[in-house]
Chain A
Amino acid sequence: MTARTLYEKIWDAHVVAQREDGTCLIFIDRHLVHEVTSPQAFEALRMAGRTVRRPELTLAVPDHNVPTTARVDAAGKRIPIADPQSAQQLAALEKNAPEFGIRYFGATAREQGIVHVVGPEQGFSLPGTTIVCGDSHTACHGGVGALAFGIGTSEVEHVLATQTLQLRKSKTMEVRVEGDLGPGVTAKDLIMHIVGAIGTAGGTGHVIEYRGKVFEQMSIEARLTVCNMSIEGGARAGLIAPDETTFAYLKDRPLAPKGAEWDEAVAYWKTLHTDEGATFDKSVVIDASVIEPTVTWGTSPEDTVGISGAVPDPMSFADPNKQRAAQASLDYMGLAPGQKLAEVEVQNIFIGSCTNSRIEDMRAAAEVLRGRKVHPNIKWGIVVPGSGLVKLQAEAEGLDKVFTEAGLEWREPGCSACLGMNPDKVPAGERSASTSNRNFVGRQGPGARTHLVSPAMAAAAAVTGRLTDVRELVREPA
């Protein structure tokens, strides 16, 4: 058999049928559903008198517009959502999930959280599976070696009704990272650096496989962070080959295989790697050793720079379209060419999102904040765990106290201030140091100015009131 890449192995294992024109009917093993991109899909099923073909392969969790403030009152009674439209969307999912036989973690369940945190955490996301969700950050689950990608609502309907999608095979792209990351440089800095290097359309039409020792040494949480932002590089999916770290992470998770099935599964998962001699359509090599803690200066995730750097001059770009875009970005961001990033003051801190809300992210932020206070520049700072289970774990470790004693708010799980569709927003004209994934115009609220950073860097900005090299705050070991 010819040598195949990891992507090709997973693709081949899911082809139900192939049309003459090359379009394939691909089986979908796992489907995650949330409240924002599903109501129209369920409604379309209802109108056509169709059912959900395999309800046990779908898991529903509300995350996008649920407020991150308390969900039950002192008497244990549920607090309704104030915004009537959000309440209506949530009510629709609460009705649709049981009506179509789908497992549902409701807004007050301890398992509730951001779909992309919940899937791996429950062992629902498994190596070698195809995973889809009506959300572009589904790429995230590539961190456990799953072929995972975002879909639109019509495709959500298609998967619910048929458990398949009509797809064309993507091209393959290798992002090979050589060398080691320096101290204080995290998976988030790495993926932001990669997006900066390849551009937001660099992976369009491709599935990225991240390769190199750096990824092999990473925890699953860090791999999920890397794969999460594949879409920021234009790739619908990103993959990291499953290994012993993956198996150890998944073992004994509630929905992971058990007993003899576990052994069978692991034996199969061990075959899921790119063969020696397999070729990629595109290959990019990144030197890890030059990467600094990274921040964004503009309104595209590709607008990245090391924290010691400065805002670029728009005229320094060769492409006239990019010059115009960069100038528009600087106008929106209120920044001038040559300005040092480490001198940019911020007023808001957001630690959370499907990119950075897992237990390790909480620990990394708490490590910087322990025994320190938030700077007076900071008007609003929140820490939003990715799921109820992450929240419980963090509280068991006392991390919530570290955050609240420093002056940040400790919230309930959800997408929160990553996107301006729930009460957590950044005010117009103000800046945030945010661990989310998109610094688009208006993303965190109309007029909000977003600087993307790692959790440790967000914590450092909270302490100093400006974008800061977290390495300056590292304490000597006791």
Chain B
Amino acid sequence: MEKVTEVEGRAYPFGMKNVDTDIIIPAHFLKTVTRDGLGEGAFEALRKDGDSVFDNPEFAGAPIVIAGDNFGCGSSREHAAWALLDMGVKAVIAPSFSDIFSGNAFKNGILTVALPQEAVDRLMEVAQTDSITIDLENQSVSTPFQDRWTFEIDPFRKNCLLEGLDEVGLTLQSDAVISAFEDRLRREQPWVASGTKAAA
């Protein structure tokens, strides 16, 4: 994974609340076996009338989306994160996120920045005309107008993003402790360990 330290640029002043992943990428785009090209289907239902923020040339290619609370609720489809990534989005700022979406975003190097509603309201204004800066190292969001807010992020996730770590590779370094756990499982709960090989 590429290292993530800072996201700086224009932001889509989207603002919608309870954006579900069906809105981000409808199911008929999920029939792919790759991760690429999904940007085309992103926010399809909102874009069909041609007047959404995602079609406004002012914001074309913006790396940040500003949204209402509970962003990414609903389906677990990682295609939602891939679609945003394919649009060039590297961060979403909202008052809150669904658990599954924020996990998926993180795995793809997309920052999910939770800020209070007042800060999000202010950023919606700033985004109309100016760029926004997200500094991961210092966990801060700032504007050219002296606005500055700090945000919380899981330290493990922060470190993975800053270092660009491959999580699977990282976990595989714990092979010995996983094996020890599996040995105990075989002894104590053989019915769990046998899985699909359970005797008929």
**Which A residues are closer than 8 A to B by beta carbons?**
16-17, 19, 21-23, 25, 27, 29-30, 36-37, 39-40, 43, 48, 50, 53-54, 56-59, 64-65, 83, 85-86, 88-89, 92, 102-103, 123-124, 126, 129, 134-136, 138, 149-155, 157-158, 161-164, 166, 168, 170, 200-201, 204-205, 231, 234, 236, 254-258, 261-262, 264-265, 268, 300, 321-322, 324-325, 419-421, 438, 440-443, 446
> Is the interface on chain B under 10, 10 to 19, 20 to 34, or 35 or more residues?
35 or more
A261 touching B78 in the complex, CB below 8 Å, given contacts A158-B167, A419-B27, A420-B26: no
Q: Contact: A254 with B104, CB < 8 Å?
A: no
Q: Contact: B198 with A86, CB < 8 Å?
A: no
Q: Contact: B196 with A59, CB < 8 Å?
A: yes
Q: Contact: A265 with B189, CB < 8 Å?
A: yes
Cα A37 to Cα B79 in complex, Å, equals: 8
Q: Contact: A150 with B33, CB < 8 Å?
A: no
Task: List B contacts of A40 (CB < 8 A).
Answer: 33-35, 78
Given contacts A25-B177, A134-B78, 14 further A-B contacts (CB under 8 A): A29-B185, A36-B31, A40-B34, A88-B33, A89-B31, A150-B100, A154-B167, A162-B172, A204-B99, A265-B189, A419-B27, A438-B20, A441-B23, A443-B22
Closest 8 CB pairs of A and B: A257-B191, A154-B107, A85-B31, A152-B78, A152-B104, A421-B27, A150-B76, A56-B195
A23 touching B100 in the complex, CB below 8 Å, given contacts A155-B107, A322-B17, A441-B22: no
Task: List B contacts of A322 (CB < 8 A).
Answer: 17
7 contacts between A and B (CB under 8 A): A56-B196, A85-B31, A152-B77, A257-B190, A264-B191, A268-B189, A322-B17
Q: Contact: A158 with B171, CB < 8 Å?
A: yes
* B45 nearest in chain A by CB position: A442
Q: How far is the CB of A355 from chain B (nearest CB, A)?
A: 14
Q: Contact: B199 with A50, CB < 8 Å?
A: no
Q: How far is the CB of A151 from chain B (nearest CB, A)?
A: 6
A441 touching B45 in the complex, CB below 8 Å, given contacts A21-B154, A152-B104: yes
Q: Contact: A37 with B197, CB < 8 Å?
A: no
Task: List A contacts of B167 (CB < 8 A).
Answer: 154, 158, 166
Within 8 Å by CB of B18, from A134, A163, A325, lies A325
Q: Does B156 contact A (CB under 8 A)?
A: yes
A234 touching B73 in the complex, CB below 8 Å, given contacts A152-B107, A154-B108, A321-B17: yes
* B172 nearest in chain A by CB position: A162
Most interface-central of A85, A129, A166 (chain B CB within 10 A) = A166
Within 8 Å by CB of B178, from A37, A163, A321, lies A163
Cα A255 to Cα B182 in complex, Å, equals: 19
Most interface-central of A39, A254, A440 (chain B CB within 10 A) = A440
Q: Does B96 contact A (CB under 8 A)?
A: yes
* A31 nearest in chain B by CB position: B195
Within 8 Å by CB of B194, from A56, A64, A102, A442, lies A56
Task: List B contacts of A200 (CB < 8 A).
Answer: 18, 70, 73
A16 touching B70 in the complex, CB below 8 Å, given contacts A254-B198, A255-B196, A421-B31: no
Within 8 Å by CB of A135, from B45, B76, B195, lies B76
Cα A231 to Cα B75 in complex, Å, equals: 9
Task: List A contacts of B192 (CB < 8 A).
Answer: 29, 126, 129
Q: Does B174 contact A (CB under 8 A)?
A: yes
Q: How far is the CB of B135 from chain A (nearest CB, A)?
A: 20
Q: Contact: B70 with A234, CB < 8 Å?
A: yes
Q: Does B98 contact A (CB under 8 A)?
A: yes
Q: Contact: B103 with A152, CB < 8 Å?
A: yes
Q: How far is the CB of B36 from chain A (nearest CB, A)?
A: 10
Cα A325 to Cα B153 in complex, Å, equals: 29
Q: How far is the CB of B111 from chain A (nearest CB, A)?
A: 16
Q: How far is the CB of B168 from chain A (nearest CB, A)?
A: 5
Q: Contact: A16 with B181, CB < 8 Å?
A: yes
Q: How far is the CB of B178 from chain A (nearest CB, A)?
A: 6
Q: Contact: B198 with A155, CB < 8 Å?
A: no
Cα A231 to Cα B44 in complex, Å, equals: 24
Task: List A contacts of B70 (CB < 8 A).
Answer: 200-201, 204, 234
Q: Contact: A440 with B23, CB < 8 Å?
A: yes
* A325 nearest in chain B by CB position: B17
Q: How far is the CB of B169 from chain A (nearest CB, A)?
A: 8
Task: List A contacts of B172 (CB < 8 A).
Answer: 161-162
Q: How far is the CB of B73 from chain A (nearest CB, A)?
A: 6
Cα A373 to Cα B71 in complex, Å, equals: 43
Q: Does B155 contact A (CB under 8 A)?
A: yes
The A-contacting residues of B in range 95-125, CB under 8 angstroms, are 96, 98-100, 103-104, 107-108
Task: List A contacts of B104 (CB < 8 A).
Answer: 152-155
A261 touching B190 in the complex, CB below 8 Å, given contacts A200-B70, A201-B70, A205-B99: yes
Task: List A contacts of B182 (CB < 8 A).
Answer: 27, 54, 163
Q: Contact: B75 with A136, CB < 8 Å?
A: yes
Q: Contact: A261 with B191, CB < 8 Å?
A: yes
Within 8 Å by CB of A151, from B100, B174, B200, lies B100
Interface string of B120-159 (1 = CB under 8 A from A): 0000000000000000000000000000000000111000
Task: List A contacts of B178 (CB < 8 A).
Answer: 16, 25, 27, 53, 162-164
Q: Contact: A48 with B74, CB < 8 Å?
A: no
Cα A149 to Cα B75 in complex, Å, equals: 12
A201 touching B73 in the complex, CB below 8 Å, given contacts A153-B78, A154-B104, A236-B100: yes
Task: List B contacts of A201 (CB < 8 A).
Answer: 18, 69-70, 73, 96, 98
Cα A88 to Cα B34 in complex, Å, equals: 11
Cα A103 to Cα B195 in complex, Å, equals: 10
Q: Contact: B199 with A258, CB < 8 Å?
A: yes
Most interface-central of B16, B30, B68, B96 (chain A CB within 10 A) = B30
Q: Contact: A37 with B191, CB < 8 Å?
A: no
A151 touching B103 in the complex, CB below 8 Å, given contacts A23-B156, A40-B34, A441-B45: yes
Task: List A contacts of B185 (CB < 8 A).
Answer: 27, 29
